[in-house]
Amino acid sequence: MSGVNKVLFYYDVVSPWSYVGYVMLRRYEKLWNLDITYKPVNLGYIMKFSGNKPPITVANKGVWMWAERERAIKFYGVTLNQPKAFPINTMHLQTFLDTLTASASKSVVEQAIETCFAAIWHDDKPCATREDVEAIVAKLDMDKSKLKEILDKSMDKPARAKMQEEAKVLVEQNGLFGMPSFEITRASDGEQAMWFGSDRFEHMAAWLGQSYKGPFANDSCPKL
């Protein structure tokens, strides 16, 4: 369809800013005529191959991150409860989402993404085992036998190997170093650009020639 701005959204549900980025994309999807493709990646591999370090490995930066989370809750209207143990290994969730994305409808994929984000940032649910993941995704709107098939495939070694290799390529060829990241193709001229971080939507709007209407996409002004 002409006039559609294409977005490739790279995310890991371990990242609170990926959650914010996802919510913001959905709020601006129709307003900016976005065609969103969701690409789950493993943030740990991205960090490893790029030489980046998690914020919590720097004492002051870790303190800042959790304080910033409190502001983000009010500013974006997103639930970001601090998990008891952090960081969390979301490998099984990410391989599940990756396997699901390859075969399920967009509505089911979005339901699964929201369910997995909520498991981490609403409910602090464990996600270390297959049983944990099964419990998280049990209520997805899809055939149970198909769900089992996707779970089986996502737990295999090739699914993890694929995630590692894709992360290496994204770092070396696309310049990724953290989450969330956005690869956008502008409809007006086909030009592509990369963006990092959940706080770059005002910049994206200027680049797309669209109106930025605040964090709720309705010109309302949140109070901090």
Identify the domain containing residue 119 by its residue range: 5-208
Residues 6+ apart with CB under 8 A from 70: none
Asked whether residue 121 carries a pLDDT value surpassing 70, the answer given is yes
Domain at 137, CATH number: 3.40.30.10
Which residues belong to the active site? 15
The answer to whether residue 74 is domain-embedded is yes
Residues in Cβ contact with 135 at an 8 Å cutoff, skipping those fewer than 6 apart: 125
- Asked if residue 116 is part of any domain, the answer here is yes
124 domain-assigned: yes
Res. 75 pLDDT band, cuts 50 70 90 = very high
- 10, containing H or E segment: strand 5-11
Indicate whether 59 belongs to any domain. yes
Q: What is the pLDDT of residues 21-73, one digit of tens each?
A: 999 999 999 999 999 999 999 999 999 999 998 877 888 877 888 889 999 99
Residue 220 lies in a domain: no
Mean pLDDT across the chain = 95
The total number of structural domains in the chain stands at 1
What is the percentage of the chain residues whose pLDDT exceeds 70? 99
Is the confidence at residue 2, as pLDDT, over 80?
A: no
Structural domain contains residue 218: no
